[in-house]
Structure 1
Amino acid sequence: MGFSSSGQIVGATWDGGFEEVVGPILSTSVWVHVAITFSQTHGLRLYVNGSLIGSTGGIAYAASGSSNTVMLGSSRGVRSCAKSITPGTFYGYLDEFRVYSRELSATEVSALTKGYACFDGLMNGDETDIDCGGSCLTCAVVSSSGTSPWNTTGITLLSSSTRFSCTRLFVDSNDTLYGVDKLKRYVWKLSKNAENAEVVAGVYESTGSDSIKLNSPQDVYIDQYGNMYVLDTNNHRVQKFINGAKQAITIAGVTGSGGCSLKQLQYPRGFAFDPTDTFMYVADRSCDRVVRFSTNSTSGTDGVIIAGGQITDNTNKALNGPYSIRYLSSINNDLLIVNWDGHSVIRWPLGGTSGTFVAGLPGISCSSSICLSYPADVRIDADQNMYVVDELNHRVQMFRENSDVGLTVVGNGVAGNSPTQLRNPQGIAFDSAMNMYVCDTENGRVQKFLKL
C-alpha cells in the first residue's frame, strides 16, 4: 500500500507484474482510514473511510515469497506492500500497516499472518490485529491538521535582558513552577500568580562545587516531602536539598569526577523518580546509559544500570545521548528515554534488555511529522499522550497513544522570537489545568501556553 506520484492511494500485489487498486487523492487536513482486505475470491479490496473503492478480482493465495504475496512490514522491492516509503510507483508514507483478513478460512488466516487467530467475526474498535468475517467498517476519523489544544500564542512569564538559559521545568502539586538556569547556575521558583521568581538553590552567577553552589544545573524535581533534587551536570552529581535547606548533600555521582564507573556520572542531563520517591533514574548522557540510585544514597554509592551502557548506537538495545527521562507508572513501570543524539524516544521496561521506539526515526534528524531533531525533553499526560520538546525543529510535538505521528502543538518549526515561535526549546511542564510551560532556551524566556 502506498501513494502514487499524483497523491492517490494505491493498493497492489507483488507478482513480478502486479495487480493494483487505485483510490482517490486524500485530504491533507484530516486523518483518513484506509484498509485493504485480501481473499482468493476478490483479490485485493481497497476501502477508504469504510467505503469500497474497488478490487483486483480473484487472486489465488500464494506462499510467502511467491507471486501474489501480501507482505507486512518490510519491502520486497518495487510495488511491494510495506510500512515505509516504497520505491517505484509508490510515493509518500503510511503511518500504520495492518491487514484485516475477513474472507479467508482459519487455515489461510493463520498462514497469512504467521500464527494470528481468527476471532469473533467482528472488527471491534479496540482490535488491532486480525479478525475474520463481516465487512470493512470505518474507524473514527480524527483531525490531524495543526489544530492545537493550546493557545499557540505564548505568554512570557520570565525573561531577561541579560543571558537567561532555562533548560528544564517542574510544577509541584500547588502549581508552583520551578526551573533551572544553567548559565546563571541557580534554581528558581515562581509561585502561582506571582510576578517574580526567587532563587531557591545555587548562588546566582557563581560557579562552584561545594554544598551550596552549582555548575550548569540541568534538571529539578520536588518530591512529596518537599525535598528538592538538582541535577548538577558539570559537577557530575545529583544534589538533594532537604525540605528548604540551602546546603545540599550529594546522593549520586562523585563531585568533580566524571566517569562511567557505577559510582560515577558523566555530564548527566535528566532524571526521573518512581511514584514513592524511593528510586531515582538518571540519564547519564556521556555514558549512554540510565542508572538507578536510591534517593537516600550518598556520594560514591554504586548505581545500577537500567538501560544502555554497553554500546552507543541507534538500535533498540542501546542509547544514544540520553537527555531526559520519565517514569511511566501507568504503563508497567516503563521508562521513557529521550535520545538527544539519536533523534528518538524509546520506551524501556524496567528489567529489560531492549526498548521500543515510540517517536522519531532512530539516528535520523529530520522535520516531518514522524521526525525529531535533537529532542530535549518529554512528558506524558493522564490520557497517555506524549509531548516531546523537539529542540532543533523549534517546536513541541504531541504523539497520541500508540501513534508515531506527531502533531505540532507549540511553535511552527521555524526559529523566532514572536509569541508563536520558539528557538531551541529544551524543557516542558504542565500545571493542574494542563497549561503548558516551555523553556524557550535560546530566546532567554519561559513561555506559558493556555489550554483551550
Structure 2
Amino acid sequence: MTSKVENQWFENYLKNAQLIANRCENSSLKNKINQSYKQPLTKYKTGDKFRSKVAKLSHAKKWSQIKENQTCELFENFTTEFVLLPNTQTQFCFFNPPTTTELSTTSVIYTTMIDEITTATNAKWNLTGITVASSNGNSSILNPYAIFVDDQYYIYIAEKGNSRISKWPPNPNGSASSSIFQTAAGQLNQPPSLYVDSKTNTIYVADESNNRVVSFINGSTIGSSVTSILSGTLPAVSGIYLDPNGTIFITDTGQNRIYNWFTNQSAVGGQGSGNNASQLYQPKRFFIDSNYSFYVADSGNNRVQKWMRGATMGETVAGGYGAGSNASQLSGPLGVVVDSQGNILVCDSNNHRVQKWTPGATIGLTMAGNSNGTAGSSSMELNAPKGIAIDKSDNLYVVDSNNFRIQKFNVL
C-alpha cells in the first residue's frame, strides 16, 4: 500500500510524459513512450517493491541535446516498464532491466541504483495544504504578499494591497478567519516584506512606496523609522532580512543589490543589472543561512543566486535556464528559504508552485501547487504565490495570493 505522497509523486512525473514524448525525434515512438510511462504507476500501486537497475545516458543532460536519438532507440529496441528518476531528466528505472549487450547498442552506461523509492527523497511535505489564514475571498480582510513565522508559530503577513502588517495566531488545524493584530491605517504604503526579530521583539518592515524601512515593537500599531539613512533614500525596498548577528540587510531592487544598512555598502550585486555571476536583475526577497550565505530570488533572471559570505560573485542554485515551467526552470521567483536539511525552497510565482532544489541539483521538485505551472484553488493548488516561509519545525507556509489565504504544508 503506497502513501498519498508516493502516489502524488508518480502522478507529477506522469504529467511530464507528453513533454518527453514531444522531445523525441522519432514521432512514431511518442505514443509508445506515453503508454509505457503509465505502467510504473499501476505496478507500484499494487505493492510491488520498486527494485530495479538504471540506464543512464552517457553524455547528455537535456533531451534536446541527445545526439542521433539514442534515447528513442533505447525505447524502440527494448520494450519495458520505466519511470523517470527524480532530480534528473536523463535517468530511467527499468522494472525488467535490459542486458548489458542490449544497452551497449544504444550507447548508454549501465549502473546499479536505488532499491526503493522513499518519500524522504522525493517529497518532504504533505502535498495537501491547510489554510491557516483566510479572508474567504475578501481582500479587505486579508490581501497577503509576504510572510514570516516566529518561534511560537505566530504568522505575520505583509498585506501590500492593504498597506498594513497583520499578525495571526498559530493554527495547527487551520480555519483562521481573523487576525489578532494589525498596524494602524496610514502607517505604511504597500509593504512587500517583513522580518520579525524575536531577540528584540521587533518587527522590521520594508515600506516600499515610502522608500524606507520602519520598525515596530511587536504588538504596537505605531511604527518609527529605523534610521534616517533608510528614509527616502532607497528607490525600491522589496525585501528585508537579518543575519544571525542581527545585521539588517535590505533588497534595493532599483540598484539590483542587497544592501547592508550598518556598513552602508552593497553586500550582494550592485554591479548594474545583468545575468552574469556578479549581477542581479530585479532581485526580490532573500534568505540568509547560519553560515551567512545569501540566497537571492533573482526574479528578472528567473533564478536563485547563492552568495557565500564575502563573495563577489554568486552561484546559480535554482533555475537560470530562462523563464518556463520545466523542472529546470523558474518564472518570476519572488521568495526563497532554506530548510534545516539545506533544501532550497523557491516561490515560483508565475508557475503557481513551490519548487524544492536539493543541494547540487539541476532540476527542482514540486512541493506545493501543480508541477505543470497551472493555477488552482484546491487544497493542493496555488494561484500566484507571492512568498514562502518555514517555521522552526520545517513546516512550509505559502502566501497563496490570488486565493487570499495562507497555506501550510506540514513536514513529513
TM-score normalized with structure 1 length: 0.65
Distance 1:140 1:391 in 2: 33
Distance 1:423 1:33 in 2: 27
Correspondence for 1:378 among 316, 330, 336: 336
Unmatched tracts of structure 2, length 5 or more: 1-22, 34-54, 61-66, 76-80
- Equivalence for 1:350: 309
Structure 1's 202 and 220: CA in aligned 2 closer, same or farther, altered over 3 A? Answer: same
Distance 1:31 1:48 in 2: 14
Distance 2:217 2:258 in 1: 24
**Residue 179 of structure 1 aligns to a residue in which SS?**
strand
Q: Are 1:162 and 2:138 counterparts?
A: yes
Structure 1's 231 and 19: CA in aligned 2 closer, same or farther, altered over 3 A? Answer: closer
| Contact kept? 1:21, 1:54, Cα under 8 Å | no
Alignment of 1:131-170 (within 5 A): 138-140=112-114, 143=117, 148-160=123-135, 161-163=137-139, 164-170=142-148
Q: CA deviation at 1:150?
A: 2.5
**Residue 286 of structure 1 aligns to a residue in which SS?**
helix
Match of 1:390, as an amino acid? D
Structure 1's 392 and 200: CA in aligned 2 closer, same or farther, altered over 3 A? Answer: same
Distance 1:12 1:339 in 2: 30
Structure 1's 346 and 253: CA in aligned 2 closer, same or farther, altered over 3 A? Answer: farther
Q: CA deviation at 1:275?
A: 1.0
Q: CA deviation at 1:309?
A: 1.6
Distance 2:308 2:347 in 1: 22
| Contact kept? 1:252, 1:293, Cα under 8 Å | no
Distance 2:377 2:124 in 1: 21
Structure 1's 246 and 313: CA in aligned 2 closer, same or farther, altered over 3 A? Answer: same
**Greater mean alpha carbon deviation, residues 415-424 or residues 137-146:** 137-146
Higher relative contact order (CA 8 A, sep 6+): 2
Q: Are 1:251 and 2:232 counterparts?
A: no
Distance 1:371 1:357 in 2: 12
Q: CA deviation at 1:230?
A: 1.0
Distance 1:268 1:181 in 2: 15
| CA distances 1:58-101 after superposition (whole Å, capped 9, x unpaired) | xxxxxxxxxxxxxxxxxxxxxxxxxxxxxxx99xxxxxxxx9xx
| Contact kept? 2:225, 2:231, Cα under 8 Å | no
- Equivalence for 2:278: 317
**Residue 234 of structure 1 aligns to a residue in which SS?**
helix
| Contact kept? 1:227, 1:244, Cα under 8 Å | no
Match of 1:303, as an amino acid? N
Correspondence for 2:201 among 191, 201, 226: 226
Return the index of the structure with the highest Cα Rg.
Answer: 1
| Contact kept? 2:87, 2:361, Cα under 8 Å | no
Q: CA deviation at 1:420?
A: 1.8
- Equivalence for 1:273: 242
Q: CA deviation at 1:218?
A: 1.3
Q: Are 1:215 and 2:163 counterparts?
A: no
Q: CA deviation at 1:245?
A: 3.7
| CA distances 1:336-356 after superposition (whole Å, capped 9, x unpaired) | 011111110000123221110
Structure 1's 34 and 265: CA in aligned 2 closer, same or farther, altered over 3 A? Answer: closer
Structure 1's 19 and 287: CA in aligned 2 closer, same or farther, altered over 3 A? Answer: closer
Structure 1's 33 and 197: CA in aligned 2 closer, same or farther, altered over 3 A? Answer: closer
- Equivalence for 1:28: 83
Alignment of 1:43-122 (within 5 A): 53=100
Distance 1:20 1:159 in 2: 50
Structure 1's 144 and 235: CA in aligned 2 closer, same or farther, altered over 3 A? Answer: farther
| Contact kept? 2:56, 2:111, Cα under 8 Å | no
**Residue 341 of structure 1 aligns to a residue in which SS?**
helix
Match of 2:83, as an amino acid? T
Distance 1:27 1:359 in 2: 27
Structure 1's 165 and 217: CA in aligned 2 closer, same or farther, altered over 3 A? Answer: same
| Contact kept? 1:32, 1:141, Cα under 8 Å | no
Structure 1's 254 and 139: CA in aligned 2 closer, same or farther, altered over 3 A? Answer: same
Distance 2:273 2:294 in 1: 18
**Residue 402 of structure 1 aligns to a residue in which SS?**
coil
Match of 2:377, as an amino acid? N
Structure 1's 255 and 271: CA in aligned 2 closer, same or farther, altered over 3 A? Answer: closer
Q: CA deviation at 1:185?
A: 1.3
- Equivalence for 2:268: 307
Q: CA deviation at 1:28?
A: 3.5
Unmatched tracts of structure 1, length 5 or more: 36-46, 58-88, 91-98, 100-135, 258-263, 295-301
- Equivalence for 2:50: none
- Equivalence for 1:63: none
Distance 1:32 1:311 in 2: 33
Q: Are 1:192 and 2:170 counterparts?
A: yes
Q: Are 1:448 and 2:402 counterparts?
A: no
| CA distances 1:312-337 after superposition (whole Å, capped 9, x unpaired) | 0111110011101111224xx21001
Q: CA deviation at 1:10?
A: 4.9
| Contact kept? 1:190, 1:196, Cα under 8 Å | no
Alignment of 1:426-437 (within 5 A): 426-437=386-397
**Residue 377 of structure 1 aligns to a residue in which SS?**
strand
Match of 2:273, as an amino acid? T
- Equivalence for 1:399: 357
Q: CA deviation at 1:287?
A: 1.5
Q: CA RMSD in A?
A: 3.8
Distance 1:308 1:12 in 2: 34
- Equivalence for 2:376: 416
Q: CA deviation at 1:216?
A: 0.6
Structure with the largest fraction of helix? 2
Structure 1's 19 and 246: CA in aligned 2 closer, same or farther, altered over 3 A? Answer: closer
Percent identity over the alignment is 28
Q: CA deviation at 1:169?
A: 1.0
TM-score normalized with structure 2 length: 0.71
- Equivalence for 1:359: 318
